[in-house]
Amino acid sequence: MAHSSASTRDPDYVKRRLDHYYRAINAIVLARQNPCTGLLPASVAVTTHGDYRDAWVRDNVYSILCVFGLALAYRRLDDDDGRAYELEHACVKLMRGLLASMMRQSSKVEQFKQTQALEHSLHAKYNTATGETVVGDFEWGHLQLDATSLTPDYGIWERGNKINHGQPELNSSSIGMVVAALQAINGVNLFGPRGGPSTVIYALPDEITRNTTVLHSALPRESNSKEIDAALLSVISYPAFAVSDKALVDRTRAEIIKKLGGKYGCKRFLRDGHQTTVEGNEP
């Protein structure tokens, strides 16, 4: 819906629009945020395909982005009725909840550096109400580098290679998220304007370059077994924007649309049978 430039400059009009988004976000997202842990369930549904009431790391981060974006918009208002503060702290609460859940597995981080074994990877989902783990180390494809570099993982769809035999492999979508994360965190001061040189995080340029080179050489393929994957959309565009080569971005997007596009959207990958009669009712 188009709006005139005069109306968008009207403070009352802007506030009404933001209040509209606030009501929507409050009803859809914040109403489901756990008051104790700050975590969000992936869904409130329990179906034949599984129980989705747990808190997935990736789903939580993606879901809270709209809350943070609205908080930034409210900051620009002279009178926001305290909503910027409320929304900002909802984001902080969720991120602290994820951090608390991961800190319970802090021993695994050091072990993974040495072994890169599946059982030493941080879990991909947690109990929404307690932040505790909900499945065993070998009962889920926890190793997902875009949710926690050049390490084989289970990818965004938590299933590993194309034939879904539980074998991890190097995924372009995971590498792209790692590249974006390294670029974003480079130079960040953990204490903000009150911090000093000792609280600044630096990412090694060689690490960024190495991951970027691998990503560019792999695209438009997702992995050795998957020719193409819809997960690459999140790498070549929002939220990662990890590929600077426009020709490569256009080629990857064209491959996704050509091979995965359908009447109502895109399949995840070729021969994707999730929640269809092809794969039955297993989650």
**pLDDT per residue as tens digits for the range 32-59:** 999 999 999 988 777 666 678 889 888 8
67-90 burial string, b = 16+ CB within 10 Å, else e?
bbebbebbeeeeebeebbebbbeb
- The whole-number pLDDT of residue 247 equals 95
Q: Would you call 174 exposed, middle or buried from its count of C-beta atoms within 10 A (0-12, 13-18, 19+)?
A: buried
| Most distant pair of Cα atoms in the chain: their distance | 60
Q: How far is 206 from 149, CA to CA, in rounded Å?
A: 13
Identify the three-state secondary structure at position 18.
helix
Please check whether residue 56 is in contact with residue 122, taking contact to mean a CB–CB distance below 8 angstroms. Answer: no
pLDDT band at 147 (very low <50, low <70, confident <90, very high): very low
Question: H or E element: which one contains 87?
Answer: helix 83-103
Distance CA 236, CA 246 (A): 9
Q: Which pLDDT value is given to residue 277?
A: 66
Angle of CA points 134, 138, 140, to nearest 5°: 55
- Residue type at position 152: P
pLDDT at 119: 77
Please compute the mean of the pLDDT values over residues 148-153 and round it to a whole number.
55
- Identity at 38, one-letter amino acid code: G
Residue 168 phi/psi, 5-degree rounding, is -70, 155
* Residue that wins the pLDDT comparison between 89 and 148: 89
Share of the chain above pLDDT 90, in %: 38
Rg (CA), the chain: 21
| pLDDT of 175 higher than 80 | yes
Q: How far from each other are the two terminal CA atoms of the chain, in whole angstroms?
A: 39
Task: Give the Cα separation of 224 and 169 in Å (integer).
Answer: 8
**Predicted confidence band at 138 (pLDDT cuts at 50, 70, 90)?**
low
Nearest to 68 by CA among 21, 13, 9, 10: 21
Q: What is the pLDDT of residues 181-235, one digit of tens each?
A: 999 999 988 887 788 888 899 998 998 999 899 999 999 998 888 889 999 999 9
Residue, of 72 and 139, whose pLDDT is higher: 72
Q: Are 219 and 232 in contact (CB under 8 A)?
A: yes
Amino acid at 164: N
